[in-house]
Amino acid sequence: MSKKNIALDRLLTIQNHISNQPQQTGPIDLARERENASFNVKHMNWLFWGSKEFAEALQDAFLIIQRDPELHFSGGHPFDLTRPEEREATMKQIFRYIQLKKSLKDPLLFKALGVAMGMYSESFNMKVYVNDYLMAQSFKLFGTTEQYDAYINDIVNWKIIGCFAMTELGHSSFLRGLETTATYDRETDEFIIHSPTLTATKIWIGMAGQTATHTIAICQTIIDGKKCGTNWFIVQLRDQKTGKLMPGVTAGDVGAKYGRNGIDNGWIQFSHVRIPRTNMMMKWSKVDKGGEYIPSAFPAVSYSVLIGERLSVLSGAISTCGQVLTIACRYGCVRRQGANEEQIMDYQSHYVRLMPCVASTYVISVITRMIINKWEGIMKLAQTSQEEFISYLPDIHAISSGLKAAISWWGCEVLERVRRSMGGYAYSSYNGIGGAIGDWGVVTTGGGDNFVLIQQSARYLLGSFKQVSHGKKVTGSVEFLNDIQQIRSSTKSILSDERQLLNLDFTLDMYTWLCCKKVDVLAASLDSSTEGEETTWNENQVDLIKLGELYSYRFTLSEYIKGSLWAIHLINDSLYLFLEEEYFSKEQVKMIKKCHLKLCKEIRKECIPLVDSWGFSDFMLKAPLGKYDGDVYTAYLDTLKAAPNCMGIPDYWEKYVKNF
């Protein structure tokens, strides 16, 4: 302990004796915690965000938001806003953001501002993402050069506000079952967009409720009464000046949600809406003026825009988990409880819950940069080398599907651990946890239901296993299967020393063994069944979902080089699967559990420097119990006093209370 902190401790003791009242120890506790850092916090911040330049730009962006009344929430948070007020505040933020896009000359700073605003408001994040990514990337991936050039400037400058109309009232993940139709009329050279049934209603479409002027809608393409498959179509929803719905378009808002209330998710019904034939996105499939349908050689490409959407969940996990863990760790080191007034973070039950979450956030930050850079490189191939672009799709599709499911489920686990770790205070909206849980909840089903997506990863893994079984080599995320014969020849773990568990290559080998064993067992089970293929798949669905998770987590380990606690957490969390296959002995299981607890305790010593390194300011956190200086109780009570109708006689007193 430094001389400065010894002096502060003595001063606190004297104050307690004089006033005979307990004083807040939070500021001293957090100062002491920060002295435990074995690394440079600023340098760790640069590492976490990928570069010194971007990390510094992000801090500048935080300051821009804090200083600009058009960007930040009045009062510092949105928790007391009504739904209409939050909608207007979100649109005001976007309007200001687009103004700044034109005035800020530094591209890196503007990029950082977009990231920072996404962290500050999930509703802002989602609205901008729907237009700037889903809409814009649809033109890049599905549109011809002419279509892209005709629309892209209006989209990125918000002269056209776009939405992405995929899911329907009766269908979502099963796109071949979608009911909305696009019927070609030869006489007028138009498509007629129509919702033939109630269940064909497009629903949960971001920004369709109130603001989107146009949509990219996926429809069953019908020519001469014959279904030709699903394709994407450009349909105008509203007049760009008046906001009124176009003829034949009926749309409305989905109403109250338990998160992201600043975004107007909506429903759409089309009643014989006519659009030019050229409004069909025709990079891959085409319909000429004579009505001849030229199908895509690669039908799966129509889903490719969803790959980026799924990978965006990883960025969301860094922001959401990073912020709530910063709040929980600071609170856990300030809050004292028990006979000896211990910091609650020092209780094993507390730090063992939270430290794997802190470790995982670092791992996910590295994986996110790597996989998004890879996807951006693949997308460029769509413009330059379409065959090469297609060759990468199966692997990146399996990776994105698996990671989206596994990481969004893990995010739910992190949020729940944080909620429980903060006791009753997490129930207060003003501490940010409830809002984060509400905002995150949609991620496990939006952009593809996790239970469906993770099975796509499992199916890809099983298909790759079959190729290897027939003597073929596989590449990408399943390359490890090429060595499956050697891997499965080992039936028992060679773990003998705890130090082996700190070697990531060793823990990766164990996880690879488990993944190979489970794919081997499942492949045999599926092949030996006498039931039909769909029935057999359904009867093995639980194991297939777990296989998809194993594949996804193995991928994160294979791409990360310093993930000891995260690696041990995954092994510890999967012990029952290893034990099913009799891979570990009783002594080895005890060693793994002991190592897991030991690593959690080691990380706990530096938990405050580790979360400080993420760089979330008090302003961005919007949670008094997560204040950097540790003076959390003063800040929390001040927040309560500032809340609407905190004190005074309520309106219902005269009508009800006094009449008792």
For 457-472, write each residue's pLDDT tens digit: 999 999 999 999 999 9
Q: What is the pLDDT of residue 9?
A: 60
pLDDT of 12 > 60? The answer is no
255-283 tens-digit pLDDT: 999 889 999 999 999 999 999 999 999 99
- Per-residue CA distances from 11 to 8, 14, 25, 189 (Å): 5, 5, 11, 84
Nearest to 657 by CA among 649, 308, 618: 649
Q: What is the pLDDT of residue 21?
A: 47
Residue 600 — φ and ψ, nearest 5°? -60, -40
90 in Cβ contact with 125 (< 8 Å): no
pLDDT of 3 > 80? The answer is no
175-206 tens-digit pLDDT: 788 999 999 999 999 999 999 999 999 999 99
CA–CA dist 178, 419 (Å, integer) = 38
pLDDT of 428 > 60? The answer is yes
The tokens describing 156, both together, are 């990125």
How many other C-beta atoms are found inside a 10 Å radius of the C-beta of residue 314? 23
| Residue that wins the pLDDT comparison between 58 and 302 | 58
361-384 tens-digit pLDDT: 999 999 999 999 999 999 888 778
Q: What is the pLDDT of residue 555?
A: 92
For CA atoms 537, 463, 456, 506, the dihedral sign is positive
- Per-residue CA distances from 394 to 314, 397, 460, 463, 479 (Å): 19, 5, 8, 11, 13
pLDDT of 488 > 90? The answer is no
382 in Cβ contact with 140 (< 8 Å): yes
Write b or e for each residue in 45-79: b if 16 or more Cβ atoms lie within 10 A of its Cβ, otherwise e. Answer: bbbbbeeeebbbbbeebbebbbeeeebbbeeebbb
pLDDT of 4 > 90? The answer is no
Nearest to 211 by CA among 259, 167, 262, 168: 262
* Predicted TM-score (pTM) of this structure: 0.91
pLDDT of 387 > 60? The answer is yes
- Per-residue CA distances from 542 to 200, 258, 536 (Å): 30, 29, 12
- Which residues neighbour 525 within 8 Å (Cβ) at sequence distance 6 or greater? 540, 543
Which DSSP string corresponds to 74-111?
GGG-STT--HHHHHHHHHHHHHHHHHHHHH---HHHHH
CA–CA dist 63, 103 (Å, integer) = 16
579 in Cβ contact with 10 (< 8 Å): no
Q: What is the pLDDT of residue 6?
A: 60
Q: Return the ∠ at Cα 56 (arms to 55 and 59), rounded to 5°.
A: 90
pLDDT tier at 20 (50, 70, 90 boundaries)? very low
pLDDT of 564 > 90? The answer is no
Where residue 224 falls (left for φ over 0; alpha for ψ -120 to 50; beta otherwise) is left
457 in Cβ contact with 554 (< 8 Å): no
| Residue that wins the pLDDT comparison between 303 and 227 | 227
Residue 155 — φ and ψ, nearest 5°? -70, -50
Q: In the predicted model, what is the mean pLDDT of residues 404-429?
A: 95
CA–CA dist 534, 526 (Å, integer) = 10
- Which residues neighbour 386 within 8 Å (Cβ) at sequence distance 6 or greater? none
Tell the residue number behind the tokens 């067992």, with chain if given.
521
Q: What is the pLDDT of residue 50?
A: 92
Q: What is the pLDDT of residue 633?
A: 95
Helix (H) or strand (E) holding 598: helix 586-604
191 in Cβ contact with 183 (< 8 Å): yes
Q: In the predicted model, what is the mean pLDDT of residues 78-103?
A: 95
Name the DSSP class of 627: -
pLDDT of 563 > 70? The answer is no
619 in Cβ contact with 320 (< 8 Å): no
Q: What is the pLDDT of residue 258?
A: 87
pLDDT of 19 > 70? The answer is no
- Which residues neighbour 16 within 8 Å (Cβ) at sequence distance 6 or greater? 22, 23
pLDDT of 22 > 60? The answer is no
Which has the minimum average pLDDT: 11-15, 524-528, 598-602? 11-15
Number of helices (H), then strands (E), in the chain? 24, 13
How much is the CA Rg of the chain, to the nearest whole Å? 27
Q: In the predicted model, what is the mean pLDDT of residues 563-573?
A: 84
- The pLDDT > 90 percentage for the chain reads 81
236 in Cβ contact with 246 (< 8 Å): yes
Could you tell me whether strands 293-294 and 286-287 are parallel, antiparallel, or unpaired per DSSP bridges? antiparallel
CA–CA dist 465, 463 (Å, integer) = 5
Which has the minimum average pLDDT: 123-127, 135-139, 566-570? 566-570
Q: Return the ∠ at Cα 133 (arms to 128 and 136), rounded to 5°.
A: 110
Q: What is the pLDDT of residue 1?
A: 53
609 in Cβ contact with 34 (< 8 Å): yes
CA–CA dist 299, 578 (Å, integer) = 39
pLDDT of 309 > 90? The answer is no
pLDDT tier at 172 (50, 70, 90 boundaries)? confident
CA–CA dist 409, 178 (Å, integer) = 27
Which has the minimum average pLDDT: 47-51, 379-383, 423-427, 458-462? 379-383
pLDDT tier at 46 (50, 70, 90 boundaries)? very high
Give the bridge partners for 280, in sequence order.
233
**Alpha helices, H only, 41-179:** 41-48, 52-67, 83-103, 107-120, 122-129, 136-142, 145-156
